[in-house]
Structure 1
Amino acid sequence: MTQPTITHFVRLRPGETVRRPGAVLRRGSIDEIYRHGGGWEPTEVIRDNDPEDPDDVLVEVSAEFAAGIIAGWESALTEAERQFTAGPPLRLAEASTPARLPPPDAALPVAERPKIVAFLRDAPLALAAYGTGEDPYDGDLPVVPLHIHTDGVWVWSESLAYFAETYGLPPEPELLAHIRARGYRWSEVDEQTLQHAGRLVFGDAD
């Protein structure tokens, strides 16, 4: 039986390069995406990709090049990251905000803040919210995004990114530790996980 031809791709979003892509994918008998620390998983990313979208580009690469990218990812994983990618149950982050902003010494470090914000804002989207929430620290203005994201381990509201960027307000300690342990990198997640994350928000996950 003839083996199917396998074509490899890297996925590039704004700020990413071929040598530092956001994802590695392959198309053979099925489409698959490589999850950091978790191996190959089925995906619909290749099928659904819009070749006219300049902010979500698939670039064909050789199998050797793709293997080199993956090897670099795997060698950089810490033991903590390997545990995080082993498939633990999804965990819903707290979305509440304190009555008062924390003192300056409790805020996110300025140098680290963009990396935390990027993780919270750019991880896979589980649910799109077309309304906005109120900012209790700025006259209750309705400017806070409420989209739901997940990295396959945690599920959170994009409001966390807004408050981290605007005020340096950190997410809850365990989520913050998780983001740091993963080196501020999130992985692609499959459609089943995205759906599970959405159900978790409404309290009807399995």
Structure 2
Amino acid sequence: MTDRVDTEPVYFGRLRPGDALSDPSWVLRRTTSEVGSVDEILGRDGEWQTSDMLARTERGELPGTLELLGPLLPSALASVAQRRFRAVRRALDRQQSGDCLLRVAVPGTGSAYQRLDDEARAETVAFLAGAPLVVSTADGDFRTDGMWVWPESIAQQVLATGDPPEDEFFFHIHERAFCFPEEVLPGVIDRARGLLEMAAAGVGSGRVQEASVPGREPPPTRAERLRALGAWHAEWQAKHAGSTPFRPERYPGDSDYNQHYVDVEASPEADWEYTVRAREIMGLDPETGQPLDL
């Protein structure tokens, strides 16, 4: 009996109209051996999973074009997807725990996104109709993901027309990779109901949203964040001054070097330590630098 020998995977990008080869909508691969072939797709979490998408696209059952990719780009795209998905998980944990301001999405169509194809439509509808239930009323169900509150009728609008929801809300859905917490704390549901009551009563103008998270300190102002950032920079410089090379001969005539040589010469590990804490101070995800409240 001969040993099974697998070939190297062959990678494909499945492109929607307007996609760049360097950033395809889907990354697929096929591994072939003596006993057959295995097709996989790179998931939004950056992990490979079995899928029939490649075969279905080859048969013309799914739209889009297939383009061959080398092995390096899929590896890089997987690393990016994993990093982004870790940020999504951190954001969802905050939403689940009630650490985010709530705001109400309204029915209607945005202008920044094109009409959704069947697959994007299905993903969007699954998000809109699957998130935790806030309340059922005569006007329909309302749902929340711990940051946005919306009428489920938006899902019906997307399904019927293919038009995406309002821009700010749809951007959020994209940023969360179409994911939501399976449940949120009861207090989040209570807050969401309160917002819906305000919206129904026509309280205020513009978007109905919370001014602050109840029972928690208001977020720092930008001025407060910048002061904290300055203090962290001074602390970080003092911490690494003794272990950072001092090379003024490389910067003749630079009068600022003596004061800022740690910024210039610090090790990659020290640089990353500074970056992570600086992002946290400024209200950004520590790994990706993305805003947390989108």
- Output the TM-score relative to the length of structure 2: 0.35
- Output the TM-score relative to the length of structure 1: 0.48
Relative contact order higher in (CA < 8 Å, ≥ 6 apart): 1
Structure (1 or 2) with the larger CA radius of gyration? 2
More helix by share: 2
